[in-house]
């Protein structure tokens, strides 16, 4: 790391210029050791930097994997619930099947946010602040419109409105990321 | 809020990535602070001040 590097260089300069000359050989050895220490410190800094990037990449991949699993389970459950001759208790189990995966997805997201730096947390917050009020207004308006002109249940269902939330969240995320680029 | 981060960084010949590593934040955060798009939290401002061995108000200041 650069602050350590500066510190070590400062010590090296002091030792080499102000120490007695008869100890020249040992001082050279000390100089070599200090050079090695500088190289190690620099490498440590590079490792720390790449660790941040790797953590972000790893979090993104885990979130994507959990999200895909959750949505796939939802799609399978949705398809199975269309089958007519299923027992009531089985139907309830199928309906609840995506829930553990959704909790897992949320857990990864929460841990990911906790490990982010402050700007990334702000971006996440701004994305939610963008999505939440639009969802509230959207649902409220749809509810009022349904009272005014009843929707055709074959082409419209509130079951499908949940997808509006992640879509708006990702739109908010994209918007916030662009803002701080 | 304005800041002298870019100048201080240039004086030490550090890249944004170097500074980001030392402050344990992303390079995007440093870039956003330098361009005035994002004001750092108090802990990050204090860490920055400690790194450059300067008072916080010498690095971050309000626009006139």
Of residues A45, A46, A118, nearest to B44 (C-beta) = A118
What's the ipTM? Answer: 0.89
A119 vs B22: CB contact, 8 Å cut-off?
no
- Predicted TM-score (pTM) of the model is 0.69
What pLDDT does residue B12 have? 93
The tokens for A120 are 């990334």
In chain A, residues with a C-beta closer than 8 Å to the C-beta of B44 are 118
| Separation of alpha carbons B39 and B33, rounded Å | 6
Could you tell me how many helices (H) and strands (E) chain B has, helices first? 5, 2
Residue A79 has pLDDT above 80, yes or no: yes
> Per-residue confidence at B2, pLDDT binned at 50, 70, 90?
very high
A117 part of contact set with chain B, CB < 8 Å: yes
Kindly tell me if the per-residue pLDDT of A117 is higher than 80: yes
pLDDT higher for A149 or A1? A149
A160 interfaces chain B, CB cutoff of 8 Å: no
Q: Is the pLDDT assigned to residue A87 strictly greater than 70?
A: yes
The residue behind tokens 């939802």 is A74
Is residue A42 very low, low, confident or very high in pLDDT (cuts 50, 70, 90)?
low
Predicted pLDDT of residue A176: 94
**Closest to A181 measured CA to CA, from A119, A117, A129:** A119
B contacts of A48 (beta carbons < 8 Å):
21, 24
A133-149 mean pLDDT: 92
What confidence tens digit (pLDDT) does each residue in B15-62 have?
999 999 999 999 999 999 999 999 999 999 999 999 999 999 999 999
* pLDDT tier for residue A152 given thresholds of 50, 70 and 90: confident
Interface contact A118-B25, CB threshold 8 A: yes
Residue A127's pLDDT band (cuts 50, 70, 90): very high
């Amino acid at each position: 790391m650069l602050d350590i590097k500066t510190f070590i260089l400062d010590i090296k300069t002091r030792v080499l210029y102000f120490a007695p000359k008869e100890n020249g050989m040992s001082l050279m050895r000390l100089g070599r050791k200090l050079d090695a220490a500088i190289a190690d410190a620099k490498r440590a800094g590079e490792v720390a930097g790449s660790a941040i990037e790797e953590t972000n990449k790893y979090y993104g991949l885990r979130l994507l994997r959990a999200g895909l699993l959750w949505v796939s389970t939802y799609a399978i459950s949705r398809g199975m619930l269309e089958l007519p001759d299923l027992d009531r208790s089985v139907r309830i189990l199928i309906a609840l099947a995506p829930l553990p995966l959704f909790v897992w997805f949320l857990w990864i997201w929460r841990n990911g946010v906790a490990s982010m730096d402050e700007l990334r947390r702000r971006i996440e917050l701004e994305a939610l602040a963008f999505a939440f009020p639009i969802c509230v207004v959207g649902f409220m308006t749809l509810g009022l419109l349904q009272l005014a002109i009843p929707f055709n249940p074959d082409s419209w269902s509130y079951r499908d409105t949940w997808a509006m939330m992640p879509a708006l969240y990702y739109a908010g995320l994209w918007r916030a990321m662009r803002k701080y680029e | 809020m304005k800041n002298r981060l870019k100048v201080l960084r240039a004086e030490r010949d550090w890249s944004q990535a170097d500074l980001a590593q030392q402050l344990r934040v992303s390079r995007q955060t440093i870039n956003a602070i330098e361009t005035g798009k994002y004001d750092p939290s108090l802990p990050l401002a204090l860490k920055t001040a400690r790194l450059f061995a300067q008072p916080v108000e010498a690095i971050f200041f309000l626009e006139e």
